[in-house]
Structure 1
Amino acid sequence: MAKLPKRIDRECLKKFLDSFDNVLTDCDGVLWAGDMIIGQAHEALNKLRALGKKVFYVTNNSTKSREEYVEKCRGLGFVAEKEDIISSSFVTAQYLSQLKFNKKVYVIGTSGITKELDEVGISYTGAEPDPLVENPVFRLKDTIQLDPDVAAVVVGFDGHFSFPKIMKAASYLENKDCLFIGTNTDERFPLGKGGLVFPGTGCLVKAVETVAERPPIIMGKPSGLMFTVISTKNNLEPSRTLMIGDRCNTDILFGKNCGLITLVVLSGVTEMEHLEAWAASEDEEQHKLLADYYLPEIGDILTLINENYN
């Protein structure tokens, strides 16, 4: 049986706090659920800043630009600057910029992606509703026109995902020199409301991947590309960096892949039953989903710090 994550308590608190200088934290399911803050998450993050820790908000969500994330963070009581926001859309734009990409991107996604592309001067098409209006659907082959300047397809979250968008993306990807990028592979969003499942970007990426018959390059967690962008810009030492997340197959696996200290909170998609099942499994791949530490929610660290340092 693999070792379960250790719950942070007063006995290990000092050792834990002394082990890192930098904090990377997921957002949905850790800090907030939708537009509702989770417990005392804002006070906990601000307390870690007060203790001298550098805090970054690291999210696979591609629907907002960094400016929009700063606005949301501040509105919920978190201290945040644009440079503190590392989103999958930001990493996507940085990746293309580093490749000196100078053609056009077909975007399945929202302004969260296009605003980041604007910042690095990359042109794009497709980021608007494209509903199915042809009847029957097979008439699309006579009406769809492809842009010859497109040399990359980016798939992020898109509430207007449609058959025409899948068809266009896959058609561009018939050219094997066309880049195929997925912002992330999250299966679902933490909705915070019982009985409803909110599909994540992963199902959209998988749909395009299936018909294109080729895998995408993934920008978000657990891909190491996200940490490469963060560490290059901020000179972070992996062994002195803490990753906080609620989703073990992205957040915690990301931390493990990059050599970070990991903390899972049970306020999002992961439950204690999941941790126990992975620990009991003989599958070593499931053992990689086990964090170093856990807490019911990130706000619990605030209570521990206040009890022991005030």
Structure 2
Amino acid sequence: MYKQTCTNILSLSPVEVKKWLNSFDSVITDCDGVLWVYGNLISGSSDTINYLKKMGKSIYFCTNNSTKTRKELLVKGIELGFNITEDGIISTAHATAAYLKNRNFNKRVYVIGSEGIGKELDAVGIEHSGIGPDVMQGTLSTFMSQHLTLESNIGAVVVGFDEHFSFPKMTKAASYLSDPNCLFIATNTDERFPMPEMVVPGSGSFVNAIRTCAERKPTVIGKPNPAICQTLIKQNKIKPARTLMIGDRANTDILLGYNCGFQTLLVGSGIHNMTDVDQWKNSKDPEDKKLIPDVYLPKLGDLLPLILNSMTHGSY
């Protein structure tokens, strides 16, 4: 329904809204830029998600944010008023730890990231380097001759969001990755965070720096890699054709939906908006066409009044 037309739901009649709502049973939604921005609730998002759940829709939060564990994301969601459970949260930190555990990984991990990754690795018994600053000391020659120390038994480099990203970290990561048997894992490749009036580098900025230096491509755990949702599909918890993917970033959220065969809804409260969609529609690059969503809303909270209005046109 409305496949890759970027139809504005606000332009639909109540009957058309009702028909669209009946076309999906499950909802997978991004968090930052859709539900909240930098920890602040986006108006109407919790009421809308909770009402969709009340209607019988299965709800899953799927975030590329690797800074928090699933338990921490659960606490944050509940504090903001969302009716969710830990089983309904898909996070790249948890998925990264699960990926290594499922491979029977038995070496140490060099982590460029935040405590969320460290805690999830700890939870499955995988040893890793410490989290936090690794500051450049002195000149390059001084650093290389006196301060650069490489750990032994490093079998993987995991890169996520790291506010302490530095020259020493990039040097160590690329050095470990010179061993072709060392795994190169990226939690996600989001270029930037949805922040008002400023640009905050995302994990993808760090991943691409290391990718350039190491001359290796990473295995990307998070969106748009369909692997992050494969467990839900294999366990028949969701049916792709009857699943709605909601996101604010087309090259992760909407592309994930395209890759998995989900329906897609782009909201304009984060990274991408209708101006971007118009550019992709006019582009000759077939990859850009994959970024065009099925439907669009300025923000998720705009959906609830449409749902309530459509309820006067028959039962669901």
Query: Common fold, TM-score beyond 0.5?
Result: yes
Q: For 2:72 and 2:103, how far apart are their aligned partners in 1? A: 26
Tell me which amino acid in the other structure corresponds to 2:139: P
Alignment partner, residue 172 of structure 1: 176
The Cα shift of 1:302 comes to 0.5
Q: Is the 8 A contact 2:30 2:247 kept in 1?
A: yes
Secondary structure of the residue aligned to 1:170 is: helix
Alignment partner, residue 58 of structure 1: 62
Alignment partner, residue 304 of structure 2: 302
RMSD of Structure 2 on Structure 1 (CA): 1.5
Secondary structure of the residue aligned to 1:221 is: coil
Secondary structure of the residue aligned to 2:264 is: strand
Q: For 1:54 and 1:94, how far apart are their aligned partners in 2? A: 23
The Cα shift of 1:232 comes to 4.0
Pairing 1:75-94 to 2, within 5 Å after superposition: 75-94=79-98
Q: Is the 8 A contact 2:18 2:311 kept in 1?
A: no
The Cα shift of 1:54 comes to 0.8
Alignment partner, residue 44 of structure 1: 48
Alignment partner, residue 289 of structure 2: 287
Q: For 2:84 and 2:250, how far apart are their aligned partners in 1? A: 25
Secondary structure of the residue aligned to 1:302 is: helix
Alignment partner, residue 244 of structure 2: 242
The structure-2 alpha-carbon separation of the partners of 1:34 and 1:234, relative to structure 1 and needing over 3 Å to count, comes to: farther
| Deviation per residue, 1:167-187 (Å, 9 max, x gap) | 111111011000000111111
Q: For 1:138 and 1:23, how far apart are their aligned partners in 2? A: 53
Tell me which amino acid in the other structure corresponds to 2:157: V
Q: Is the 8 A contact 2:6 2:293 kept in 1?
A: yes
Alignment partner, residue 139 of structure 2: 136
| Deviation per residue, 1:23-51 (Å, 9 max, x gap) | 10001110111121111000000000000
Q: Is the 8 A contact 1:189 1:199 kept in 2?
A: yes
Pairing 1:102-113 to 2, within 5 Å after superposition: 102-113=106-117
Q: Is the 8 A contact 1:86 1:230 kept in 2?
A: no
Q: Is the 8 A contact 1:89 1:112 kept in 2?
A: yes
Secondary structure of the residue aligned to 2:128 is: strand
* Same amino acid, percent of matched pairs: 48
The Cα shift of 1:305 comes to 1.0
Alignment partner, residue 5 of structure 2: 4
Alignment partner, residue 276 of structure 1: 278
Secondary structure of the residue aligned to 1:159 is: coil
Tell me which amino acid in the other structure corresponds to 2:228: M
The Cα shift of 1:233 comes to 5.5
Alignment partner, residue 14 of structure 1: 18
Tell me which amino acid in the other structure corresponds to 1:267: S
How many residues align? The count is 306
Q: For 1:121 and 1:15, how far apart are their aligned partners in 2? A: 48
Alignment partner, residue 150 of structure 1: 154
Q: For 1:233 and 1:172, how far apart are their aligned partners in 2? A: 36
Tell me which amino acid in the other structure corresponds to 1:6: T
Tell me which amino acid in the other structure corresponds to 1:7: N
Structure 2-normalised TM-score?
0.93
Q: For 2:240 and 2:310, how far apart are their aligned partners in 1? A: 27
Q: Is the 8 A contact 1:29 1:269 kept in 2?
A: yes
| Deviation per residue, 1:242-275 (Å, 9 max, x gap) | 1000100110001001111111011111121111
Pairing 1:155-304 to 2, within 5 Å after superposition: 155-191=159-195, 193-194=196-197, 196-232=198-234, 235-304=237-306
Q: Is the 8 A contact 1:91 1:229 kept in 2?
A: no
Q: Is the 8 A contact 2:18 2:307 kept in 1?
A: no
Secondary structure of the residue aligned to 2:300 is: coil
| Deviation per residue, 1:272-292 (Å, 9 max, x gap) | 111112112222211110011
Structure 2: gaps (5+ residues) = none
Tell me which amino acid in the other structure corresponds to 2:161: F
Match for residue 67 of structure 1 among 71, 93, 102: 71
Q: For 2:284 and 2:154, how far apart are their aligned partners in 1? A: 46
Structure 1-normalised TM-score?
0.95
Q: Is the 8 A contact 2:108 2:129 kept in 1?
A: yes
The Cα shift of 1:137 comes to 1.8
Alignment partner, residue 33 of structure 1: 37
Tell me which amino acid in the other structure corresponds to 2:212: T
The structure-2 alpha-carbon separation of the partners of 1:71 and 1:215, relative to structure 1 and needing over 3 Å to count, comes to: same
Q: For 1:103 and 1:93, how far apart are their aligned partners in 2? A: 13
Q: Is the 8 A contact 1:255 1:262 kept in 2?
A: yes
The Cα shift of 1:4 comes to 3.2
Q: Is the 8 A contact 1:4 1:279 kept in 2?
A: no
